[in-house]
Amino acid sequence: MSSWVDGDPADTLSVKDRGLAYGDGLFETIAVRSGRPTLFERHLQRLELGCQRLGMAFERERIVDESLRFAGQMGDGVMKLILTRGDGLRGYAPPADAQARRILQAGPIPAYPPVNEQHGVRLFPCQTRLAQQPRLAGLKHLNRLEQVLARGEWQDNEHAEGLLCDTDERVIEGVYSNLFLVKDGGLLTADLSRCGVAGVMRAELLHQARELKLVTDIRDLALSDLAAADEVFLCNSVYGIWPVIGYGQLSWPVGPLTRKLQGIARALLDI
């Protein structure tokens, strides 16, 4: 699989990079279809917001130009775009004039079992809790040890995803997906102002739901909300939507709104 660093083909980067030293950076995982990145504008928006909140320069034109050229040679695949604060001097202090380092990596579209999308998935009950850090909440930054620990909790094939709660037992998201509940014909998803990753597909589905005049509610969710939901689904910007059919003793049907939004997500991803 090919990769570029700062616009040039390279499969290595400096050991002084602050992305390695501190996780000082951000990333996006972007589905590419026929050489074109999907949901690209939303990925760029999240990246720009992340740069603002981390105090990093965001060179939109350069990032867009490199990403489009890189994707153009990929055909179908997943493009990972990492921005780091570049090489570090010793110490945590962020350099005042740091230009973000751009890293692009190409990989195949993951071969998820088609059953996930067609018949739905069961969620593993992760014991790992998400810590609450409002300054980093919502960002797709490079500090992802919580996800590594959570994903390490199960090895079976019975669970395609795990459910993550925060340290106050609020229901937040999947390990690599956002979670939606359908209740009385409207959409519910977790408030991500304390922790969690504000997914690009989540943002797009909220937008699409409003276009469809559906009620959308972003708020704190408890396990009781999950139990009371009519339908439950996961989403991300690579696979689209997977219905959730079980979590512990709870179960849900694959419902009509999930199917409708699944079609929209597939269209958005050119699947």
Among 115, 131, 212, 228, binds a copy of itself (CB under 8 A): 131
Task: Report the candidate in 45, 156, 57, 148 with the shortest Cα–Cα distance to residue 101.
Answer: 57
The residues, ordered by sequence, that sit 6+ positions from 40 with a Cβ below 8 Å of its Cβ are: 30, 67
Q: Which is nearer to a copy of itself, 91 or 114 (CB)?
A: 91
Residue 132 in contact with a copy of itself, rule: CB under 8 A: yes
103-to-7, 17, 136, 208, 245 alpha-carbon distances in Å: 8, 11, 21, 31, 37
- Three-class DSSP labels, 91-117: CCCCCCCCCCEEEEEEECCCCCCHHHH
Q: Which is nearer to a copy of itself, 21 or 264 (CB)?
A: 21
Residue 207 in contact with a copy of itself, rule: CB under 8 A: no
Beta bridge partners of 29: 80
Residue 98 in contact with a copy of itself, rule: CB under 8 A: no
Radius of gyration of the chain (CA): 19
Write down the least CB distance from residue 251 to a copy of itself, Å: 25
Q: Which two tokens stand for residue 1?
A: 């699989």
Residue 188 in contact with a copy of itself, rule: CB under 8 A: no
Write down the least CB distance from residue 115 to a copy of itself, Å: 18
Q: Which is nearer to a copy of itself, 38 or 128 (CB)?
A: 128
Residue 167 in contact with a copy of itself, rule: CB under 8 A: yes
Residue 266 in contact with a copy of itself, rule: CB under 8 A: no
Stretch that binds a copy of itself, among 90-98, 116-124, 212-220, 240-248 (CB under 8 A): 90-98
Q: Which two tokens stand for residue 264?
A: 């929209």
DSSP 56-101: ----HHHHHHHHHHHHHTTSSEEEEEEEE--B--SSSPPPTTPPPE
Among 33, 36, 129, 183, binds a copy of itself (CB under 8 A): 129
Rounded distance between C-alpha atoms, residue 167 and residue 171, angstroms = 10
Stretch that binds a copy of itself, among 39-47, 151-159, 207-215, 245-253 (CB under 8 A): 151-159
Among 42, 102, 140, 151, binds a copy of itself (CB under 8 A): 151
Residue 213 in contact with a copy of itself, rule: CB under 8 A: no
Rounded distance between C-alpha atoms, residue 200 and residue 155, angstroms = 27
Beta bridge partners of 187: 182, 216
Q: Which is nearer to a copy of itself, 149 or 227 (CB)?
A: 149
Residues contributing to the site for a copy of itself (CB under 8 A)? 3, 5, 10-24, 27, 54-55, 78, 80, 82, 84-85, 90-94, 96, 103, 105, 107, 110, 128-129, 131-133, 135-136, 141-152, 155, 167, 175-176, 195
